[in-house]
């Protein structure tokens, strides 16, 4: 069951053997991808972003990994034209922090939903109307499982992991790390106080995803943020889309 979302009720589990003599109706072959609709909408978003010359970065992490602090600082210091779509289950707190930096922001409250999907981003784009040249950060709901499955139409995927979460996360959440273009190891200023080996972490990220970039940063101290801004500039300049 989904450890992140806390669904741990086994009461509904049924063991079913496929194809064993129940009904005698007509079988209709559908052969359809379950997420086809989301993927279609994601393509539409991608097209919209391309036409409006906006580069979108989907930022994903567990709760408390420091996404909002990173984005606040990026909005203030990177010198890039930034806008933010803030995904949160209930509160407006993160959006208000971003708003205080003066950059355009819209909030998506997902309620019980534990991830953003392409429809939500489509609506957010309509409300926000980011100007050409904008770097649009989509701060996904804090969760290392569910957001990995839903394409939003973004150009880049960044995963933020704080060193306080432990070095075993890449192997525990392989889908998330496999989907990343960039892994930001955050709060590295705390490394001296923790049992976290960045080399082991890096090795495991590489095992899952040999192509991902990995940067060590501290969003509160500012360590490594120039590398992050550099990565963003390269992403914009390359014009390459997913």
> Alpha-carbon distance 18 to 173, whole Å?
29
List all residues 6 or more positions away from 68 whose beta carbon is below 8 Å from its beta carbon: 94, 97, 98, 139
Does 38 help bind another protein (rule: CB under 8 A)? yes
Residue whose token pair is 């803030």: 86
Among 80, 89, 99, 149, binds another protein (CB under 8 A): 149
| Strand order from edge to edge, sheet including 105-109 | 105-109, 82-88, 135-139, 55-61, 156-162, 182-186, 213-216
Shortest gap between Cβ of 147 and another protein (angstroms)? 8
Reading phi first (left if > 0) and then psi (alpha if -120 to 50, else beta), residue 45 is in alpha
In contact, 45 and 58? CB cutoff 8 Å: no
Does 19 help bind another protein (rule: CB under 8 A)? yes
- Produce one character per residue of 22-48: b if its CB has 16 or more CB atoms within 10 Å, e if not: eeeeeeeeeeeeeeeebeebbebbbeb
Does 214 help bind another protein (rule: CB under 8 A)? no
Among 40, 76, 203, 207, binds another protein (CB under 8 A): 207
In sequence order, the β-bridge partners of residue 149 are none
Shortest gap between Cβ of 109 and another protein (angstroms)? 16
Among 49, 54, 103, 150, binds another protein (CB under 8 A): 150
Start-to-end C-alpha separation, the chain: 30
Does 175 help bind another protein (rule: CB under 8 A)? yes
Does 131 help bind another protein (rule: CB under 8 A)? no
Shortest gap between Cβ of 138 and another protein (angstroms)? 17
Output 80 or 145, the one with its CB closest to another protein. Answer: 145
Does 18 help bind another protein (rule: CB under 8 A)? yes
List all residues 6 or more positions away from 27 whose beta carbon is below 8 Å from its beta carbon: none
Output 34 or 237, the one with its CB closest to another protein. Answer: 34
Output 120 or 160, the one with its CB closest to another protein. Answer: 120
Phi/psi at 239 (5° precision): 65, 10
Among 21, 25, 111, 192, binds another protein (CB under 8 A): 25
Does 109 help bind another protein (rule: CB under 8 A)? no
Shortest gap between Cβ of 176 and another protein (angstroms)? 9
Does 34 help bind another protein (rule: CB under 8 A)? yes
Does 237 help bind another protein (rule: CB under 8 A)? no
Residue whose token pair is 């289950």: 89
Shortest gap between Cβ of 215 and another protein (angstroms)? 21
**Binding positions for another protein, rule: CB under 8 A:** 1-2, 5, 7, 9-14, 16, 18-19, 22-23, 25-38, 113-115, 117, 145-146, 148-150, 171, 174-175, 178, 206-208, 210
């Amino acid at each position: 069951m989904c450890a992140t979302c806390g669904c741990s009720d086994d009461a509904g589990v049924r063991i079913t053997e496929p194809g064993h003599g129940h009904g005698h109706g007509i079988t209709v072959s559908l052969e359809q991808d379950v997420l086809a609709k989301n993927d279609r909408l994601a393509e539409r978003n991608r097209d919209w972003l391309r036409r409006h010359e906006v580069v979108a970065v989907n930022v994903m992490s567990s709760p408390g990994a420091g996404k909002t602090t990173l984005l606040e600082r990026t909005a203030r210091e990177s010198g890039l034209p930034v806008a933010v779509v803030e995904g949160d289950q209930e509160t407006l707190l993160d959006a208000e922090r971003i708003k205080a930096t003066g950059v355009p922001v819209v909030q998506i409250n997902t309620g019980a939903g534990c991830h953003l999907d392409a429809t939500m981003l489509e609506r957010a784009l309509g409300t926000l109307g980011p100007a050409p040249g904008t770097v649009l950060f989509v701060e996904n709901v804090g969760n290392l499982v569910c957001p990995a499955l839903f394409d939003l139409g973004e150009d880049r995927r960044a995963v933020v992991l704080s060193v306080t979460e432990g070095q075993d996360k890449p192997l525990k959440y392989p889908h998330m790390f496999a989907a990343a273009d960039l892994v930001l190891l955050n709060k590295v200023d705390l490394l001296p106080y923790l049992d976290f080996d960045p080399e082991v972490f890096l090795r495991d990220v590489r095992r899952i995803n040999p192509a991902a970039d990995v940067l060590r940063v501290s969003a509160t101290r500012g360590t490594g943020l120039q590398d992050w801004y550099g990565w963003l500039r390269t992403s914009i300049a390359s014009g390459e889309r997913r």
